[in-house]
Amino acid sequence: DPDNVVLCLLAADEEEEGDAALQIHFTLIQAFCCENDINILRVSNPARLAQLLLPDAGPEPPTDLHCVLVTNPHASQWKDPALSQLMCFCRESRYMDQWVPVINLPER
């Protein structure tokens, strides 16, 4: 349900940038998100993202963690200051013609 999605995270390593299938996948997801007013962020380190999102997954993170949809089923959570900051960052990036801003997650 796109009405409850507030953010789409697309994660890929530098070596995956040449993967044509993954890029087609990302293009389709980005088109869906743009059509439904869903903010998009690219994340440079899927392994680190997996560590942050799935801390109990063990030393080997899932290899298919390329797209994460963040949902917000309760309107009252829009008042969350971190989520508000993130939405402002996405909006400001679009004003600077950066439609899909990139966040570099450093290694731990």
- Angstrom distance (rounded) from CA 73 to CA 76: 9
* CATH homologous superfamily for the domain 2-103: Ribosomal protein L30/S12 (3.30.1330.30)
Give pLDDT, residue 61. 60
Averages of pLDDT over each 10 residues, the chain, 108 residues: 85 83 91 90 85 76 78 65 83 82 79
Question: How is residue 74 written in tokens?
Answer: 């309760």
- Angstrom distance (rounded) from CA 54 to CA 93: 28
Separation in Å, CA 55 to CA 19, 78, 103: 27, 25, 20
Scanning the structure block, which residue is given the tokens 């309760």? 74
